[in-house]
Structure formats: structure tokens, C-alpha cells
Amino acid sequence: MLKYTKDHEWLRIEGDMATVGITPHASVQLGDLVFVELPAVGTNFAKGDDAAVVESVKAASEIYAPLDGEILEVNQAIVDDPSIVNSDPGEAGWFFKMKLADASAAAELMDEDAYNAMVGQA
């Protein structure tokens, strides 16, 4: 199941696990990324908490925890080479994987059609 937030994060949800990244739209808006800071494995976040930071040639931006949960894995490849997020934001450019405190809360998030409508790509 793929879900989206108003803050331009995507979540690929499998059971109580979510892989989280930023949308292609967000990647384009940010421009070329030059720095990514990811959360520590084992950190617990509440929905909306600052979970990661990206810096581009244009600006710095926070990546928010889309739901409550614990960070289980981070993508070291994007720390080593932030351009992966620009070239493949929906797959190889994922940020972190988290164990969701309540997977049913994902129902509150947008599906792809609703997200595309929000960003004017419908």
C-alpha cells in the first residue's frame, strides 16, 4: 500500500512496517540535494516530528515522521550520495524504514490520486 502526506513524503506500507521517502514532486521542488541527515536507528517519533534533514542548492528542509513509530533502518546510500534522492526518489532514494505504532493510522493519509490532486498533477 502506498500512501502520501501533505508534507510530500511517501510511505510504502507492508503490515506494520513503512518505508518512507520524499515524492518526486518534492525532489524537483528542492533541487539538487547536497546533504542528507537521517535519524538514528531505534529512535521513536510521533507523527509530525522532525525525523531527517535534507539540504539542496536551494534550501534546507525537514523530513517529518509521517506516523508514530520506531526507526528500524536508514538508507546510508543517500547520505553517501544525496543525488540518489533526485534520480530515484520513489525507490532507491528512500530515507528510513519504521515500525508503525498503529498501522491503521495510515488510513488518514492520502492515496496517490489525492496527492496528485493536491500538487496539481491530477
Among candidates 46, 68, 48, which has minimal Cα distance to 6?
48
**pLDDT > 70 in the chain, percent:** 99
- pLDDT tens digits along 72-86: 999 999 999 999 999
- Alpha-carbon span 103 to 36, nearest angstrom: 27
What is the residue extent of each domain of the chain? 2-103
Strand (E) or helix (H) holding 27:
helix 24-30
Please determine, for residue 4, whether its predicted confidence score (pLDDT) is greater than 70. yes
| Strands, sheet with 9-14, edge to edge from the N-terminal-most edge strand | 2-4, 9-14, 17-22, 96-100, 69-74, 44-45
Give 102's pLDDT tier (boundaries 50, 70, 90): very high
Q: What is the value of pTM for the model shown?
A: 0.95
For domain 2-103, give its CATH number from 2.40.50.100, 2.60.40.420, 3.90.700.10, 3.30.200.20.
2.40.50.100
Strand (E) or helix (H) holding 4:
strand 2-4
Give 122's pLDDT tier (boundaries 50, 70, 90): low
Backbone angles phi, psi at 30, to 5 degrees: -75, -35
- pLDDT tens digits along 8-31: 999 999 999 999 999 999 999 999
